[in-house]
A and B are shown apart, each in its own frame.
Chain A
Amino acid sequence: MNNFLQVLVVGIGDGAVYAMLGLGLVVIYRSTGLLNFAQGELAMFSTFITWTIWEVGVPLPLAVLGGMVGGFLVGALIHQVAVRPLGDPHLRPLATVIVTIGLFLGVNGAAQLIWGTLDKDFPKLFGESQVTVGGVAVAWQKIGAVLVLALMVLVFWFLFQRTKVGLAMRAVASNSESAALVGVPVPRLLMLGWGLAAAVGTVAGVFTAPNLGLGSNLMQLTLIFGFAAITLGGFDSPLGAVVGGMVVGILTSVLPQYLPIFEKMRLAPAFILILAVLLFRPQGLFGRKQVERV
């Protein structure tokens, strides 16, 4: 039983990180209706920015904020330089998706050029200590991940459901032409979406780096889990990203304990989950079903 609880705790901690990356994917999906394959690489890049700021002696929490600002700027810049020239992503979805795949390679290469190919040690935001609850050791880092995630969800929920800018972002995602006709400056909102997604990704990277070491391939596995999370939760639902992230985190942590076949195939549960959801409930658990009447 204790063993189960222990792997469960590990799964929830991992799940929180998948959910954070998933949130970034949801932000882009909500403003463009597309998946951003470069999401993980943007997160990695801004984690490197965080590391650089921390290296010169800035306390880590402040460095993370700096990394988020840096990530926001990089995301917004990438939108202006590489995505916007293609025109409206709603009219040219394939071109835009291909560009995000190109960005995946480009950002990865840029990080290697700037920071080299050797992994860096990255400190834990909430330290190394842990508490024991009912015989189960829980690292503060994992508790911190869950708390930070909760805060991020609240902020995003507020942004999308309670602010004018959030409403406009949802309008752009649903029907960019109509949004433009009511005066919404569509390209500027898309730029904001890219910036926000990259800023959110920073946090996911900051929680991943201490375990894996900070290198240019930091987020590649996490991105797969992030995709699984939002497929399960629904591409357009921040809450779905959280629930999906938790389920994916728990499954990938618990399953190998009981089904040895998954020990060597840690990614398999994620893929099985994606396949199953797409077959049986394509809109995900919390996603809005597409309704269209003419």
Chain B
Amino acid sequence: MSLLSVSGLRAGYGLVEVLFGIDLEVDEGELVVVLGSNGAGKTTTLRAVSGMIEAEGEILFDGQRMNGRRPDQFLAAGIAHVPQGRGTITDLTVQENLEIGAWTRKDGEVGADIDRWYATFPRLGERREQLAGSMSGGEQQMLAIARAFMSRPRLLLLDEPSLGLAPLVTAEVVASLRTVTDETGTAVLLVEQNADLALGFAGRAYVLEAGSIALSGPAAELKGDESVRKAYLGF
């Protein structure tokens, strides 16, 4: 059984419909990407899957129906969401951002986890007392990812980590993420416009076009698909 199973997902904002019945699945520990251009509905998909907006259709996580629950209940179930634009809490320090990331946890290992993230992202460790808002885009993205992992999620939703970052910085962020997922076995649902980056990272991919899934399959296969290459890879 899949960890996340979404079927017939319809969502929108007010009268504007954005998603027209989407099916997608993520298995335990799997890295999945949703590719799509601006306005295809990538962010809306993630927002529905973390409970931030209401959606029709069915969202099953670990066999439980999640529809209608609040974001904190999605998180408690094991879904962490790094929103677009990173969503670091800019008025808190790096350390405080990581501490608040562990809000739902009751165990005594929070401090040890924070140290572990400082080891994974040494640049965060050097800036623990710095306000998150004063850091560079790449550092904030690393912080946002580390903070999301502080809740020890089973599924991480990651919204366009490459947005506004230099290609080298993006590569660094993605490489760190890879290390982390290898180690923790956390499943990732990534949405991206940068197909080259995303297909290199994920094992399986969906292509979202105007609110519907146009294509899906193993990442390696999609990389060779002519329409994907034309639309997202530019050759």
Complex contact B90–A291 (CB within 8 A): yes
Complex contact B136–A181 (CB within 8 A): no
Interface string of A176-196 (1 = CB under 8 A from B): 011111111100000000000
Complex contact A293–B133 (CB within 8 A): yes
Complex contact A293–B91 (CB within 8 A): no
Query: In the assembly, what is the distance between CA of A175 and CA of B87, in Å?
Result: 8
Query: In the assembly, what is the distance between CA of A271 and CA of B80, in Å?
Result: 47
Q: Does A281 contact B (CB under 8 A)?
A: no
Query: In the assembly, what is the distance between CA of A238 and CA of B80, in Å?
Result: 33
Given known pairs A179-B89, A183-B72, A292-B90, the reply for A167 and B99 (CB within 8 Å) is yes
Given known pairs A171-B100, A183-B76, the reply for A178 and B133 (CB within 8 Å) is no
Query: In the assembly, what is the distance between CA of A236 and CA of B90, in Å?
Result: 14
CB < 8 Å: which of A181, A184, A185, A293 contacts B50? A181
Q: Does A199 contact B (CB under 8 A)?
A: no
Contacts of A179 in B (CB 8 A): 89, 100
List A145-175 residues whose CB lies under 8 Å from chain B: 164, 167-168, 170-171, 173-175
Q: How large is the interface on B (under 10, 10 to 19, 20 to 34, 35 or more residues)?
A: 35 or more
Contacts of A290 in B (CB 8 A): 133
Q: B105 — nearest CB in chain A belongs to which residue?
A: A183
Complex contact A183–B104 (CB within 8 A): yes
CB < 8 Å: which of B103, B133, B151, B164 contacts A291? B133
Complex contact B100–A184 (CB within 8 A): yes
Interface string of B94-112 (1 = CB under 8 A from A): 0010011101100000000
Complex contact B91–A181 (CB within 8 A): no
Complex contact B72–A293 (CB within 8 A): no
Complex contact A180–B72 (CB within 8 A): yes
**Closest CB of chain A to B141's CB: distance in Å?**
12
Query: In the assembly, what is the distance between CA of A223 and CA of B121, in Å?
Result: 47
Contacts of A171 in B (CB 8 A): 89, 92, 96, 100
Given known pairs A178-B88, A180-B72, A182-B75, the reply for A293 and B136 (CB within 8 Å) is yes
Given known pairs A173-B91, A291-B134, the reply for A178 and B83 (CB within 8 Å) is yes
**Closest CB of chain A to B126's CB: distance in Å?**
17
Given known pairs A181-B75, A181-B81, the reply for A174 and B91 (CB within 8 Å) is yes
CB pairs A–B below 8 angstroms (18 shown): A164-B99, A164-B103, A167-B92, A174-B90, A177-B52, A177-B87, A180-B52, A180-B71, A182-B104, A182-B147, A182-B150, A184-B100, A185-B70, A185-B72, A292-B90, A292-B133, A293-B136, A293-B137
Instruction: Name B's A-contacting residues (CB within 8 A).
Output: 50, 52, 70-72, 75-76, 80-81, 83, 85, 87-92, 96, 99-101, 103-104, 131, 133-137, 140, 147-148, 150-151, 164
Instruction: Name A's B-contacting residues (CB within 8 A).
Output: 164, 167-168, 170-171, 173-175, 177-185, 236, 288, 290-294
Rank and list the top 5 A-B pairs by shortest CB-CB distance, nearest first. A174-B91, A183-B75, A183-B104, A178-B87, A183-B72
